[in-house]
Amino acid sequence: MPKVKVPRKSTSVDMTAMTDVAFLLLTFFMLATKFKPDEPVIVDTPSSISETKLPDVDMMMISIDKENRVFFGIDGQQKRDSLLDMISAKYKVAFTESEKKEFSLISAFGVPVAQLKQFLSLPSAERSKIKQPGIPSDSLNNELGDWIWFSRLVNKNIRVAVKGDQSTSFPVVKQVMNTLQDKKMNKFNFITTLERGAE
């Protein structure tokens, strides 16, 4: 019996189509991307059925992590610049140009003003490693209030978002809310994640 000869096929596949797909997706992601701002702490937000989206601009964000530390962040590099100028005038702390530059680049921080200079002089890789103590927000030394107040002066359309962790204890949240009310920010947002399957 004659052997059936299987014709040898080439193993090389035409990659052109795959390249097309890959680069199409790449283009999509590049255009749709907004880089995640690096956050100093991981905050596990509670869920709610609210569907309102967080606006991109004119925001200041107050994060409270599960160890009840308070962090503060504001959008816009120029705004951060002028905010730091006001803080340095009030607390009589002079910042060098490079420290100002560094401050305008970080999205959120959680150190008291007294430690801010030292914090900014660290290289950014080390900054993420050290444990930030949080911004003082109690009635004795309410630095958070000053940050909020100066942010309002820097940007009068600013809105506040409070991002708390599920297990943040209520007194801290109350303190932050009271501070906001003291600074005449009576309307604010709580950041939540969308609850699944709730109606």
Pick from 25, 105, 122, 153: which binds other proteins (CB under 8 A)? Answer: 25
Contact (Cβ atoms closer than 8 angstroms) between residue 108 and residue 37: yes
| For other proteins, the closer CB: 49 or 130 | 49
Smallest distance from the beta carbon of 70 to other proteins, in angstroms? 12
**Strand pairing partners for 142?**
137
- By the rule CB under 8 A, 193 interacts with other proteins: yes
Rounded Cα distance between 14 and 16, Å, is 6
Pick from 1, 5, 35, 123: which binds other proteins (CB under 8 A)? Answer: 35
- By the rule CB under 8 A, 138 interacts with other proteins: no
- By the rule CB under 8 A, 174 interacts with other proteins: yes
Binding-site string for other proteins from residue 78 to residue 117, where x marks contact by CB under 8 A and - marks none: ----------------------------------------
- By the rule CB under 8 A, 196 interacts with other proteins: no
- By the rule CB under 8 A, 57 interacts with other proteins: no
Cβ of 125: how many Cβ atoms within 10 Å?
A: 7
Q: Which residue, 102, 135, 105, is CA-closest to 117? A: 102
**Maximum distance among all alpha carbons in the chain?**
100
Paired tokens of 166: 């599920």
Sign of the alpha-carbon dihedral angle for 191, 159, 188, 87: positive
- By the rule CB under 8 A, 161 interacts with other proteins: yes
For 79-128, give the DSSP string: HHHHHHHHHHHHHT----HHHHHHHHH-S-B---HHHHHHHHHS-HHHHT
Smallest distance from the beta carbon of 92 to other proteins, in angstroms? 29
- Contact set with other proteins (CB under 8 A): 12, 14-16, 18-19, 22-23, 25-26, 29-30, 32-36, 45-54, 56, 64, 161, 163-171, 173-174, 177, 180-182, 184, 186-195, 198
